[in-house]
Chains A and B, each alone.
Chain A
Amino acid sequence: MAEEKKRSADPAVLQLLEKCDSCEGLPSTMWDRHDAMQPQCRFGELGICCTLCFQGPCRINPTGKEPQRGICGAADYTIVSRNLLRRIAAGTAAHSDHGRHIAHTLHALIEGKTDAYSIKSEEKLKSVAKKVGISTEGKDTMQLAKEVVDLALEDFSRQDENVPLTWLRTIVTPERMEILTRCDVVPYNIDAMVTETMHRTHIGVDADPVPLIFNGVKCAMADLAGEAISTDLSDILFGVPKMTVTEANLGVLKEDQINLAMHGHNPVLSEVIADMTEEMEEEAKAAGATGINIVGVCCTGNELLSRRGIPLATNFASQEAVIMTGAVDAMIVDYQCVMPSLGMWAQCFHTKLISTSNLCRQQGDVHIEFNPTTAKQDAKRIIRLAIEAYKNRKPADIEIPQYKETIVVGFSVEQIEEILKKQSDDPYQYIVDTLKDGKIKGFAVMAGCNNIKVCHDESHIILADEFLKNDIMILATGCAAGALVRSGFTSSKATQEKAGEGLKEFLTTLGKGIGHDDPLPPVWHMGSCVDNSRIQSFMTTLANKMGVDIKDLPIVASAPEDMSEKATVIGTWLIATGWPVHVGIFPFIHGSPLVVQIAEHTARDVYGGFFLFETDPHEASRRLINIIKHRRWKLGIDADPEHIYPNGLTAADLFEEAGPPKADTANGGK
């Protein structure tokens, strides 16, 4: 990269990167390593490199010249599809394993094997039981919890192929279930789906692109169920998120306190650590600190933020920056999206890198294996290590960028319903009416990761600005939500400054309904990346109320910085349930025109959802807003003066006489 490009939209991150630039002897940052990696492998980027057997690596010539087949005869679409499926399987494995671990924890509680947990939301337990068809009558809490968790674990263990996953069946519209069933993409067992996907993509098994991709969709549906299990059981154990005012960005670190940064995804550990801080307060003080300050990173951060209002320090791409502050005494990680570079960085500071899951070990870590049965003890050992580390702080190294935003978070479906109920006894009809009268034009989900290929967080901000201006309400999860909370999108001020008139009116009315003088924020933080299930559940209820399917609703999803395999699988189930999904980073499939056509067009024909591949966030937002307009037109709500095509391009974009043609950037790569 010859030209200097902006590394992050976050001034806090930039401040720390600049500090490190001027220091000798520090490890490389993610940005340095990205630059050093250029040019990245074009075959890999196009997804046409196959390393599934040792006769390879094989790669297809993307220019149309030979070789057009791998040694075994696999064509571009076979290689691309198989590689894609393996990413989907990995994403599913990650989310679902997370769900399973929550279930195991709940199970341990029910069996009396742990004193670290309790049922924090009986109400959620009952509503989940009702949703999955378990009668609550005459059952005590633990018995009901046992039945719920047993049913959840059955989704990991069922052997009858004809019985659909409970947590899938209960999160889609009846019409969707019919489509999914007809397309043979309804799984019966989450683990079996991962296995089947790995089997199907083994050398010499499935080579036909559509059956392969449909298998990927089936696996993704298992992922949706796994995510829904994670969310439901987490809420039962740790409470349903409620609206909370708190803060975000690196300025939440406190110089005079023991700073614990909780990073990863699973709340099972972080919740207990948060519970144990009070008990450890004295020890902290004895060490010279004024207290213990927990901050979140990535999705563990989002979980803590949603349920406890624990401040969020930063998201995925800037995890190294957390250590760079020199003020973090322990970086405690569970799993997923933990960068192996953290060990290198921790070595240069006093920070302890503590890994807690035997799945996720790091070079340079201290491993304190965390078990539900010994949770309190484990938590204390971990906190104690941080207190010890505090004593080794080097004041010269400390630089906490003074950036933080006051934020409003905690928008679970239950919280949203409660807010809406102040307006109407029929909260979803209220949303339908608000959509129909055009006060809000639609919903945009902003989800997904950070991806170093683009300026950190910038695309999220650009897209969010455009959505809000156009009266589109934003629901955010994961690192996208992490970006938006840190950029001032989750406050009343954001509504006043950024929202269109209709949206502002809507949010002001909702605010008044719950006794606030100020409007609600225009971006609703709905949780971590597994909590995309919350959004799915909200939209399914809305679609049912409207008498349509998700494929008809004026909604879009965007992951402008998609990065992980989990993002791939979320994108896949979103599409299969009828969402238009924008991704800003090409997902290694453009080596097969057939697979790209399926993703962009044929998926829409079959499922109603489709991918929009667009690297430019301005263009992406324009097309996504157009897609919402297109769907409003199809619903019979609005006229179609611009003649918008289903992919968000207008007649003016496509026809010369009406204006200069715009290339469909999704075709043909970057």
Chain B
Amino acid sequence: MISQKELFGMAISGGISAVGYADVLLNKAIRTHGPDKEVGYPDTGYELPCFYGWTTTEVKKLGDLPALLGQVREKICHEPTYENALKAGEATMWSAEIVEAIRYIDNDNPYEDDAPPGTQEHCGFVGDPILRTLGIAFVDDTIPGAIVFIGKAKDSKALAKIVRDLQNKGMLLMATFDIIRQLEDEGINQGTDIMLFPLGEFTQAIHGLSFAIRAALAFGGIQRGDREGIYNYLSKRPKVVIIQLGPIDQIKAAAEFAVLFNGSPTITDQDVEEIPGKYVVQKDYEQIVSTAIELRDMQIKLSEIDIPVAYGPAFEGETVRRPDTYVEAGGPSKNKVFEHVKMRSADEVEDGKITFIGKDVDEMEDGSSTNLGILVEIYGKKMQEDYESVLERRIHQFINFAEGAWHTGQRNLIWIRLSKKGVENGLRFKHFGDILHAKLHEDFGALLNRIQVTIMTDQAEIEKHFPEAMKSYGVRDERVAGLLDEKVDTFYTCTLCQSFAPNHVCIISPERLGLCGAINWLDAKASKEITPTGPNQPIVKGEVIEVEKGQWTGVNDAVKEHTHGKLDVFNLYTMMEEPMTSCGCFECIVGLEPMTNGVVIVNREHSGMTPLGMKFSTLAGTVGGGGQTPGFIGVGRYYLVSKKFISADGGFHRIVWMPKQLKEEMKDRLNARAEEVGTPDFVDKIADETITTDPAELAEYLTKVDHPALKLPPMM
């Protein structure tokens, strides 16, 4: 049994060892590279995040670090008390950050070959784009918390069970030390794209803490070095729990006190005298998950779905590559496919009826392709035809949540793959029926009374339902085309992010969707029906104050209320004056490029440089956290092709640069919009990184192609 006093002693020893280690490595690095050598991680706007969070001192160069290391070294005291252990924890946090930063000098991927060949790679530092991609799921409790595994489990099968359970509950997971190998043994995939980060060993564990600290900075609007702010924020969210399995040594103890210093507790399977609420013993692996949930009071939104593969947001980002595909529907295979959600009358729908027509995967050959129809028929007293599309769009996410299933596109352009491993584990197309029935009830229970699902691979059956689906799509398109800001008197708030970004509110109008890209006006309207007191509240627009800029009395009142008086004016159609704020999980950043009088768009997937002289991650640091930053806004990508896209500032024609991949992905929509504004060749005039990332060259290019932005009045 390790007594509390011994545990504190270990943490203090660990702290002394950690600062000594950092000290040796830092001085060596300074001798080698000089004090002016830049330090930092790839893809982050927060320098060395543990320093960014906990000190106001900027850390850009190696030479900035010795004095900071001294700040924690001088706090270390030997007396084995809780307070001293926490100080050692803080010292360990900074020490580990220094040690890791040194690894990243002149090397963006130092852990590429860390693990022996053929075994699970370690990821090390996890960049801001991943954090921002997960943002929306964090804030709406789809991800109820984050669990960091340290050490080694006494039973890898039991560990796998814990991990599966946590994945089904939607948790963000991080693995370190031998646990990475154990999960690999149990066939559990790991990666930054599937919410199970194989961080690595030893000081690489700091990247878990760094992730949480950046959540506070990115979403919480916590200012650098606001020590009280960051502690208070992290004490509430994200809900992090450390699970320490196997023997505790001084460095692990010190690291756990570093996390405790940041407001999050540890659960261990070791014999330790507990510190209630902070260092908790749970030797029974069956109870570890519930202990973690209770310890942080996590809200589990996902219910269990009875299918043979794991199910949860972890797998939303999972891609099934061609060689791993067992069967494919749609996409390049040109099969006939559709998905259709259709409202019916009560007697036409039998709740829970799941029908499968045709051959399922087990009767198909490995590597084959198939037709596929997904028809969801629903009935609900409060259901409106308008919401069909809202529900239908969620099929994408619901199917992607299943491990081994991949879905993209919509309507009759869906493209679905089932992986070999998924099929091997028992995944079938018929399970889509179980998934959709369960998930639609779970998320839209207030709207729906009955749901029946028909999955079909039979050609004749698909032909039978296809025309009705096409008709629905046409009707919806017409209706949406008429859905304009001017034609409605109600907008919606979206305060879904407020658990993370307490002072941010999105104003959602028919022509401007939420900046996370997840919620448009119809979604918000449906959401209000489902949860009347929820995050999406109607705003009566009220009197117009500024027509062009898009300012209304009702909107201003709502902004004032929901930002808790922090802001009282809000313009919907300009980025130059009191623009909309950003929480942190925006899909794209729109930034003013003064030399060319245009705007640069950068999406969070793009890690390269932009003509603004900053990468996405650096820009994001200045835009997020619920503040107004004239000249910069975070937006959902579909807003780019809205008629109201910075319409007060000149609109669509202001776009002078965007990453090539984004341009490709949005090609059809961008071209359609270009057509609409009478410049069909406009999209080709937008520069990208293959043309230049230099502002002067950009200006030159725009002149060459006669970009319309050059003729617009100055933005400033």
Point out residues on A near B: beta carbons under 8 Å.
68, 75, 77, 181-184, 208-211, 214, 547-548, 552, 593-594, 597-598, 600-602, 605-606, 633-636, 639-640, 643, 645-647, 649, 651, 654-655, 657-658, 664
B152 contact from A208, A605, A645, Cβ within 8 A: A645
Residues of B within 8 A of A605 (CB): 201-203, 251
Over the window 83-106 of chain B, the binary record of Cβ atoms lying under 8 Å from chain A Cβ atoms (1 yes, 0 no) is: 000000000000000000011000
- 26 pairs from A and B in contact (CB 8 Å cutoff): A68-B78, A75-B78, A77-B16, A182-B28, A183-B25, A184-B28, A210-B16, A210-B21, A210-B23, A547-B117, A552-B116, A593-B10, A594-B16, A597-B250, A602-B251, A605-B203, A635-B116, A640-B182, A643-B155, A643-B156, A645-B247, A646-B178, A647-B247, A651-B155, A654-B246, A657-B283
Q: Is the CB of B25 within 8 A of A643?
A: no
Q: How far is the CB of A390 from chain B (nearest CB, A)?
A: 59
> CA–CA, A68 to B79, complex, Å?
11
CA distance A329 to B246 in the complex (A): 59
B24 touches A597 (CB 8 A): no
Of the listed residues B27, B152, B202, the one surrounded by the most CB atoms of chain A closer than 10 A to its CB is B152
B23-35 Cβ-contact flags toward A at 8 Å (1 or 0):
1110111000000
**Contact assessment for A634 and B28 in the assembled complex, using a CB-CB cutoff below 8 Å:** no
| A594 vs B269: C-alpha distance when bound (angstroms) | 23
Contact with A along B222-257 (1 / 0, CB 8 A): 000000000000000000000000110111000000
The answer to whether B17 and A598 touch across the interface, beta carbons within 8 angstroms, is yes
With A77-B16, A597-B17 known as contacts, the answer to whether A651 contacts B247 (CB < 8 A) is no
Q: Are B246 and A602 in contact (CB under 8 A)?
A: no
Q: A184-B25, A635-B116, A643-B153 are in contact. List 6 more A-B contacts (CB 8 A).
A: A183-B24, A208-B16, A211-B24, A605-B203, A645-B247, A654-B154
Q: Closest CB of chain B to A400's CB: distance in Å?
A: 52
> What residue in chain B is nearest A186 (Cβ atoms)?
B28
Contacts of A548 in B (CB 8 A): 116-117
Determine how close the nearest CB of chain A comes to the CB of B193; give it in whole angstroms: 22
Q: Is B603 an interface residue (CB 8 A)?
A: no
- The listed residue (A209, A646, A651) touching B17 by CB distance below 8 A is A209
A636 in complex: contacting residue of B13, B27, B118, B251, CB < 8 Å: B118
Question: Is the pair B16, A182 in contact by a Cβ cutoff of 8 Å?
Answer: no
Q: Which of B555-596 contact A (CB under 8 A)?
A: none
CB contacts between A and B, total, < 8 Å: 111
B266 to chain A, nearest CB (A): 17
Residue among A184, A633, A647 making CB contact with B181, cutoff 8 Å: A633
- On chain B, the residues within 8 Å of A636 by CB distance are 116, 118-119
Instruction: Report the Cα distance A640→B160, complex, angstroms.
Output: 14
A182: which B residues are within 8 A, CB to CB? 25, 28-29, 102-103
Q: Which residues of B contact A (CB under 8 A)?
A: 9-10, 13-14, 16-17, 19-21, 23-25, 27-29, 78, 102-103, 116-119, 152-156, 178, 181-182, 185, 201-203, 246-247, 249-251, 269, 283
Most buried by A among B16, B23, B201, B269: B16
Q: A68: which B residues are within 8 A, CB to CB? A: 78
How near does chain B come to A332, taking the closest CB pair, in angstroms?
45
Known: A210-B24, A600-B249, A601-B249. A635 touches B119 (CB 8 A): yes
The reply to whether B181 and A634 form a contact with Cβ atoms under 8 Å apart is yes
Among A547, A602, A635: residue with most chain B CB under 10 A:
A602
Known: A636-B119, A640-B156, A640-B185. A654 touches B247 (CB 8 A): yes
Known interface pairs A211-B23, A601-B251. Does A634 touch B155 (Cβ–Cβ under 8 Å)?
no
Nearest-Cβ distance from residue A662 to partner chain B, whole angstroms: 12
Asked whether, in the complex, the Cβ of B119 is within 8 Å of the Cβ of A210, the reply is: no
Cα distance, A601 to B10, chains bound together (Å): 12
B17 near A594: Cβ-Cβ < 8 Å:
yes
Chain A nearest Cβ from B469, distance in angstroms: 48
CB pair A183 B116 closer than 8 Å: no
**B250/A658 in contact, CB under 8 A:** no
A210 & B20 in contact (Cβ 8 Å cutoff): yes
- Kindly provide the distance from the CB of B474 to the nearest chain A CB, expressed in whole angstroms: 55
Q: Which of B9, B17, B24 contacts A184, CB < 8 Å?
A: B24
Residue of B nearest to A600 (CB): B249
C-alpha gap A639/B184 in the complex (Å): 11
Residue of B nearest to A597 (CB): B250
- B10: chain A residues within 8 A (beta carbon): 593, 597
Interface core residue of B16, B20, B28, B156 (most chain A CB under 10 Å): B20
**Minimum CB–CB distance for A429 against chain B, Å:** 14
Taking the nearest CB of chain B, how far is it from the CB of A603, in angstroms?
A: 10
Which residue from chain A places its CB closest to the CB of B115 in the assembled complex?
A634
Q: How far is the CA of A211 from the CA of B17 in the complex (A)?
A: 9
Question: A6 vs B25: C-alpha distance in the bound complex, in angstroms?
Answer: 49
**A548's closest neighbor in chain B, by CB?**
B116
Instruction: Tell me which residues across on chain A come within 8 A of B154, comparing CB atoms.
Output: 643, 651, 654-655, 658
Q: Are B178 and A602 in contact (CB under 8 A)?
A: no
Nearest CB in chain B: distance from A348 CB, A:
52
* Chain A minimum-CB-distance residue to B178: A646
Answer whether A634 and B116 are a contact pair too, CB < 8 Å, given A184-B25, A593-B13: yes
Which chain A residues lie closer than 8 Å to B116 at the CB level? 547-548, 552, 634-636
**Chain A's nearest CB lies how many Å from the CB of B451?**
44
| B202: chain A residues within 8 A (beta carbon) | 605-606
CA distance A34 to B16 in the complex (A): 38
Residue of A nearest to B78 (CB): A75
How distant is the Cα of A548 from the Cα of B119 in the complex, in angstroms?
12
Complex Cα spacing A634 to B417, Å: 33
Decide: B181 and A601 in contact? CB cutoff 8 A.
no
Q: Which residues of B contact A651 (CB under 8 A)?
A: 154-155
Contacting residues, chain B, for A658 (C-beta < 8 A): 154
Task: Give the most central of A552, A635, A636: most B CB within 10 Å.
Answer: A636
Contact between chains at A606 and B117 (CB < 8 Å):
no
Q: How far is the CB of B466 from chain A (nearest CB, A)?
A: 49
Closest to A212 in B: B20
A184 near B250: Cβ-Cβ < 8 Å: no
- Cα A419 to Cα B12 in complex, Å, equals 52
Minimal Cβ-Cβ distance residue in B for A592: B13
In this complex, what residue of A is CB-closest to B284? A657
- Please pick, from B21, B27, B178, the residue contacting A606 in the complex, using a CB distance under 8 A: B21
Are A634 and B249 interface neighbours, CB within 8 A? Answer: no
B17, B201, B250 — most chain A CB neighbours (10 Å): B17
The listed residue (B23, B155, B182, B249) touching A602 by CB distance below 8 A is B249
> How many angstroms between the C-alpha atoms of A639 and B9 in the bound complex?
36
From A214, A594, A640, A657, contact of B24 by CB (8 A): A214
Those 9 A-B pairs whose CB atoms lie nearest each other, nearest first: A210-B20, A184-B28, A651-B154, A601-B249, A605-B202, A594-B13, A597-B250, A636-B119, A635-B116
CB distance from B30 to the nearest CB of A (A): 11
B13 & A597 in contact (Cβ 8 Å cutoff): yes
Among A75, A211, A214, A649, the residue within 8 A (CB) of B247 is A649
Q: In the complex the two chains form, is B28's CB within 8 Å of A183's CB?
A: yes
A597 proximity list for chain B (CB < 8 A): 10, 13-14, 17, 249-251
On chain A, the residues within 8 Å of B182 by CB distance are 640
Shortest beta-carbon distance from B184 to chain A in Å: 8
CA distance A77 to B116 in the complex (A): 35
A154–B247 CA distance with the chains assembled, in angstroms: 46
A20 to B119, CA, bound (A): 60
Docked pose: A363 CA to B247 CA in angstroms: 52
Closest residue on chain A to residue B159 by CB atoms: A643
Residues of A within 8 A of B203 (CB): 605
A634 touches B119 (CB 8 A): yes
Q: How far is the CB of B532 from chain A (nearest CB, A)?
A: 50
Closest to A657 in B: B283
Within the complex, what minimum Cβ distance (angstroms) separates B248 from chain A?
Answer: 9
Instruction: Evaluate contact between A601 and B24: CB separation under 8 angstroms.
Output: no
Closest to B27 in A: A184
| B152→A643 contact, CB < 8 A | yes
Give A64 Cβ to nearest chain B Cβ, in Å. 9
CA of A327 to CA of B657, assembled, Å = 95
Bound CA span A209–B12, Å: 13
Residues of A within 8 A of B269 (CB): 655
